[in-house]
Amino acid sequence: EDQVTQSPEALRLQEGESSSLNCSYTVSGLRGLFWYRQDPGKGPEFLFTLYSAGEEKEKERLKATLTKKESFLHITAPKPEDSATYLCAVLNYKLSFGAGTTVTVRA
Amino acid sequence: EPEVTQTPSHQVTQMGQEVILRCVPISNHLYFYWYRQILGQKVEFLVSFYNNEISEKSEIFDDQFSVERPDGSNFTLKIRSTKLEDSAMYFCASRTAMNTEAFFGQGTRLTVV
């Protein structure tokens, strides 16, 4: 069965303090690794898709990278509006989600 | 920008009652999904639907659940006899092709009392 483990569970950052979130995975046939952002009471919002080891994607202050066993989401100089839960998911025939990392950025 | 829309946003129902959750996927998408998220837990896969039939379903998706695409735009999830443990956020999602990103709706919060 596909397994996705995210760490840490929670991350409290000062505005401007860069950090990284980890997603380690075990999947029988990886068709893609996805990062989503989820705000409280809302649906997951798509951020990135990564398909192969070595691939990187960037969007504003976020950068996602992929190796054969894990993915990282780097947040550079975060702002309070980056506060959210960040979800990692792997695609086989379905998306299997990790439990998420809840990021809180203080001004 | 196209989006997945879900109605209602919140549904309260008595245990044992039937509920229908409704979704309008993005218009050119071909693959449709239902996921649920119990408060404080992971987003869990329920069912995938392609070419007017179920393509995969999880062990959660038992005989109490059914899905339909009654016309060219709507996609519904029916729970025949709700239980307390069915209380959760239910998300509809759609994608254009198998390996592309899925776009999620804002969810229906189902509360069974």
- Give A95 to chain B, closest Cα distance, Å: 7
B7 at the A interface (CB within 8 A)?
A: no
| Nearest C-alpha in B relative to A33 | B101
- Contacts for B62 with CB less than 8 Å, ≥ 6 apart: none
- Contacts for A89 with CB less than 8 Å, ≥ 6 apart: A4, A33, A34, A35, A36, A95, A96, A97, A98, B43
Chain B positions in Cβ-Cβ contact with residue A31 (cut-off 8 Å): 98-99
pLDDT in tens, B89-102: 999 999 998 668 99
Q: Return d(Cα A30, Cα A43) in angstroms, integer.
A: 23
Give the single-character DSSP code of A81: G
Under the banding of pLDDT at 50, 70 and 90, the label for residue B106 is very high
B91 at the A interface (CB within 8 A)?
A: yes
pLDDT in tens, A63-96: 999 998 999 999 999 999 999 999 999 988 788 9
At B100 the pLDDT is 83
pLDDT in tens, A16-33: 999 999 999 998 878 899
Cβ B82 vs Cβ B19: under 8 Å = yes
CB within 8 Å: B91 and A44: yes
Q: How many CB atoms lie within 10 A of CB B72?
A: 6
Q: Which of A21, A12, A33, A24 is nearest to A86 (CA)?
A: A21
At A93 the pLDDT is 77
Q: Return d(Cα A7, Cα A28) in angstroms, integer.
A: 21
| Nearest C-alpha in A relative to B50 | A93
CB within 8 Å: B42 and A100: yes
pLDDT in tens, A46-72: 999 999 999 999 999 999 999 989 999
At A30 the pLDDT is 82
* Site from B39, B95, B104 to mutate, A interface, most A CB atoms within 10 angstroms: B104
pLDDT in tens, B12-57: 999 999 999 999 999 989 999 999 999 999 999 999 999 999 999 9
* Site from A23, A27, A86, A94 to mutate, B interface, most B CB atoms within 10 angstroms: A94
Cβ B49 vs Cβ B55: under 8 Å = yes
Q: How many CB atoms lie within 10 A of CB B18?
A: 11
Length of chain B: 113
